[in-house]
Amino acid sequence: MGDDGPLTQLAIRACEGRALPYVHCGTDLRNCLAAVRPWAALDARDREGLAGPRRRRDECPHGARSSVARVCAEEGVPCALFTSAFGPGLAAEGLSLPGVLVARTGHVYVPWDPAALPVRLLEDLEAGRPARASGGVWHGVYGPDLLDGVLDLLLDGMSGGVNFFPPEGWPQSDWVRQMAAVAECDAGLGAQADADSH
């Protein structure tokens, strides 16, 4: 199940990258499950604005996430869905249903979004400029890794709630230094940004 947002785009890319066949579900989930007989269902609709603007209810067929989880559980189809780790979430009922994987995540960013903070910071680091990190806590999640992790867990038969975010959070300055090291950029640029933020 999808919409036109980044989570759906990430799900399609992840399936195509693994050569996993997929079908976009129409407006009737139960009939789709009966016709396709999938090994799993993935609800990639972004009802909470995890990877962009929050979607209106009329943009998200199939009803609430709990309805999707309930239908999948009744049909015996493993199901995964996404919810915010930092709010009330829309998937509480899914945690009590068999075969439902609830991926709790922070803000999801994608590498093709030039407005995303990590993309801007990485561009600064690669250009030799200090990466300007705020004094806040980093809870962001890299979208491609999130979808790969969820697909891995679905394949393994995992269910229940799983956290896909730094549980204690990193200071943004520490996160920038780690990003600089992974990107093989000058880690001093991250340290300089930390000093500039005080």
Query: According to the model, what pLDDT value does residue 63 have?
Result: 56
**Rg from Cα positions in the chain:** 18
pLDDT at 157: 95
Question: Tokens 């491609």 — which residue?
Answer: 144
Q: What is the DSSP string of 73-128?
A: HHHT--EEEEEESSS--S-TGGGGSTTEEEEEES-EE-TT-TTSHHHHHHHHHHTT
The residue assigned the tokens 């609430």 is: 64
Question: What's residue 90's pLDDT?
Answer: 61
User: What does the pLDDT read at residue 91?
Assistant: 65
CA distances from 99 to 53, 85, 107 (A): 29, 20, 25
> The pTM is what?
0.84
List the chain pLDDT tens, one digit each, 198 residues: 988 889 999 999 999 999 999 999 888 899 999 999 999 999 998 888 899 776 655 554 555 566 889 999 999 999 999 998 877 666 667 788 999 999 999 899 998 888 888 888 888 888 888 877 777 888 889 999 999 999 999 999 999 999 998 767 778 888 888 888 888 887 677 654 444 444
How far apart CA 167 and CA 144 sit, in angstroms, is 19
Task: Calculate the alpha carbon distances from 173 to 59, 114, 121, 189 in Å.
Answer: 37, 20, 11, 10
